[in-house]
């Protein structure tokens, strides 16, 4: 019975919070946004969904992400409620 339940279970959605700076804030039209993703999504999956919803991201010279104030990369697995900061090309100095 348990197996059947597992097999028929569809991947639930989870919510993460996006925070955007610089041009990313203008693309999202806001500093913060809740974002739904299939449970267990990686950053690369998030990036795909994000750029399909907001194609302007594809035009940027680079697009990086930070979790917990550190750069994270494609294979990073996101958790429910986590904050992902969108880092468009930086231009300090």
DSSP 14: E
Residues contacting 91, CB < 8 A, separation 6+? 22
Give 3 or 91: the residue with its C-beta nearer to other proteins. 91
Which one of 11, 15, 53, 59 is in contact with other proteins (CB under 8 A)?
59
Residue 4: Cβ-neighbour burial (10 angstroms; 0-12, 13-18, 19+): exposed
The stretch among 3-11, 36-44, 46-54, 67-75 that binds other proteins (CB under 8 A) is 67-75
SS3 5: helix
When asked if residue 34 is in the footprint of other proteins (CB under 8 A), the reply is: no
Q: Length of the chain in residues, anyone?
A: 93
In the set 3, 8, 29, 91, which binds other proteins (CB under 8 A)? 91
Residues that bind other proteins (CB under 8 A): 19, 21-23, 26, 59-61, 66, 69-71, 85, 87-93
């Amino acid at each position: 019975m348990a197996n059947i339940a597992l097999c028929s279970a569809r991947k639930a959605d989870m919510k993460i919070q996006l925070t955007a700076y610089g041009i990313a804030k203008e693309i999202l039209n806001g500093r913060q946004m809740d974002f739904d993703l299939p449970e267990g999504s990686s950053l690369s999956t998030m990036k795909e969904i994000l750029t399909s919803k907001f194609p302007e991201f594809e035009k940027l010279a680079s697009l990086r992400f930070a979790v917990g104030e550190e750069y994270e990369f494609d294979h990073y697995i996101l958790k429910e409620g986590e904050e992902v900061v969108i880092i468009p090309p930086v231009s300090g100095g």
